[in-house]
Amino acid sequence: MSKNSTAVPFNGTSAQKEELLKVIAEKKNDKGALMPVLQKAQDIYGYLPIEVQKIISDEMNIPLEKIYGVVTFYSQFSLNPKGKYKISVCLGTACYVKGSGDIYNKLQEKLGIESGGCTPDGKFSLEACRCIGACGLAPLLTVNDEVYGRLTVDDVDSILAKYAE
């Protein structure tokens, strides 16, 4: 799960900032509020660039290095923006023994990106995930919220084609 920071400039809007400040004000006094705040912040911005971490640091009075430490610890937090279509290939055990590794390799090859990466046009991002728990459909992948199950390597092209235009 790549944690390299991105070259994409930060484009946060004031509406987003306002929403974030509201979330922080709501949760600030809860015990252990940092994780829920970060989760909401990622919902708002789609990722957690350093600029967003700074806002949280200032408002919650938590050192930036601690926030950065938490963000980089958990695989669901991302320092990079995600693609318009987020592809996750399940590499849980049930999917793996049924060949999801080959599907994942084929996608890396087709899209020319590695795990955690995003295509230059911002269209597709690719990641491996650990078991979404629909093992009856193994092997499977998801594109945003759409689930594709009982796959073979040959299905990769037709799935990508669906999102091509």
Partner 1 sequence: MKTLEELKVIREAMQGEVALRSHGDASSKYERHVLVCGGTGCTSSGSSKIIEALETELKNKGLTEKVQIVKTGCFGLCALGPIMIVYPEGSFYSMVKHEDIPKIVEEHLICGNPVKELLYDETVSGDEIKALQDTAFYKKQHRVALRNCGVINPENIEEYIGENGYQALAKVLTEMTPDEVIQTILDSGLRGRGGGGFPTGVKWKLARNIVKDADQKYVCCNADEGDPGAFMDRSVLEGDPHVVLEAMAIAGYAIGATQGYIYVRAEYPIAVQRLEIAIKQAREYGLLGKNIFGTDFSFDIGLRLGAGAFVCGEETALMTSIEGNRGEPRPRPPFPAEKGLFQKPTILNNVETYANIPQIILNGADWFASMGTEKSKGTKVFALGGKIHNTGLVEVPMGTTLRTVIEEIGGGIPNGKKFKAAQTGGPSGGCIPAEHMDIPIDYDNLISIGSMMGSGGLIVMDEDNCMVDIAKFFLEFTVDESCGKCTPCRIGTKRMYEMLDKITRGQGTLEDIDKLEELCYYIKQNSLCGLGQTAPNPVLSTLRYFRDEYIAHVVDKKCPAGVCKHLLSFEIDTEKCKGCTMCARVCPAGAISGSVKQPHIINKDKCLKCGACIEKCKFGAITKK
> Which residues would be at the binding site for partner 1 (CB under 8 A)?
1, 31-36, 38-39, 66, 69-70, 73-77, 91-94, 96-98, 129-138, 140, 147, 149
Q: Which of 103, 107, 109 is nearest to 140 (CA)?
A: 103
Task: Give the residue with the Cβ less far from partner 1, 39 or 119.
Answer: 39
With tokens 């999102």, the residue in question is 163
Question: How far apart are CB 66 and partner 1 at their closest, in Å?
Answer: 8
Cα–Cα distances (Å) from 39 to 12, 53, 77, 113, in that order, read 16, 12, 8, 26
| Residue 125: CB minimum distance to partner 1, A | 15
Distance CA(9)–CA(21), nearest Å, equals: 21
The identity of residue 40, as a single letter, is K
Q: Which is nearer to partner 1, 11 or 152 (CB)?
A: 152
Helix (H) or strand (E) holding 143: strand 141-143
Residue (81 or 123) nearer to partner 1, CB: 81
Instruction: Considering the complex, state which of residue 76 and residue 165 has its C-beta at the smaller distance from partner 1.
Output: 76
Give the shortest CB-103-to-partner 1 separation in angstroms. 13
